[in-house]
Amino acid sequence: MQVVILAGGLGTRIAEETHLRPKPMIEIGGKPILWHIMKIYSKWGFNDFIICLGYRGYQIKEYFINYRHHNSNLKIDIQGNKIDILDSNVEPWNISLIETGDQTMTAGRLKRVLPYIKGDSFLMTYGDGVANINLGHLIQAHKAQKKLVTLTAVKPPGRFGALKMGRGNTIHEFLEKPDGDGGFINGGFFVINTKIGDWIGKDTDVWEKGPLPALAAQGELQAFKHEGFWQAMDTLRDKHYLEELWATGGAPWKVW
């Protein structure tokens, strides 16, 4: 099963970083978050990727064009203009880098890469979120319910401390970083039937505002609940949080 990764957006909410590079190329622990996402899928045996490019997509192309050389020991014959790879420890990835337009929206990007999909279903996620998700269980749930799309539902982590107060504003309980309000949100990590192309019209269609609500209305959208770790990198604060987890050696998404 192939994996589609949406990696073409402008990433305006983390503009401190994205004015120089596309959001999926922002590094966590010295590696782009895109690499971390691909490592999660690779751990589960999914190594065939289709990456939807847009804003500064050439940087993603350059990264993977040079990936093997940057992760191998080399012997360079400068006079003969020859490079030999002495030994290499790279992933068995097959990567299709597809230009989907700088201004194309999420659903439009997906429709543009459908011609490159083999088979009747595929995996898809965003280029900015990591999780310790069980992809095997996700796919089993999708096959069992036979809906067009299975969405991974997650509970967002608390961002700020919470106070429980009583009369006279006396604080009865202080919670440093509680969970969210208990509601589930879209965490990405989809399984999608290729018939989804019938639900997308044009480049300006937004996956979360057009196809997903329409699928829900027709009973063709189901949830796979993931109760474990999940974190999107929407802001600089999120980036620093993920960096801290990686630096301590306790990054929950590092399943490889």
Collapse the DSSP code of 188 into the 3-class scheme (helix H, G, I; strand E, B; otherwise coil) and give the result: coil
CA 131 – CA 189 distance, rounded (Å): 9
Question: What separation in angstroms does the CA of 191 have from each of 115, 139, 148, 185?
Answer: 17, 7, 8, 16
pLDDT tens-place values along the chain, 256 residues long: 999 999 999 888 898 888 999 999 999 999 999 999 999 999 999 999 999 999 999 999 999 999 999 999 999 999 999 999 999 889 999 999 999 999 999 999 999 999 999 999 999 999 999 999 999 999 999 999 999 999 999 988 765 555 555 666 544 555 555 565 567 889 999 999 999 999 999 999 999 999 999 999 999 999 999 999 999 999 999 999 999 999 999 899 999 9
CA 160 from chain centre, in angstroms, equals: 24
Strand, helix or coil for residue 242: helix
- Strand intervals (E) in 33-179: 48-53, 72-77, 82-88, 94-99, 121-126, 129-131, 149-154, 162-165, 171-175
Q: What is the pTM for the complete model shown?
A: 0.90
Q: What single DSSP character describes residue 20?
A: T
Q: How far apart are CA 75 and CA 196, in angstroms?
A: 48
What superfamily would CATH give domain 3-155+183-247? Answer: Spore Coat Polysaccharide Biosynthesis Protein SpsA; Chain A (3.90.550.10)
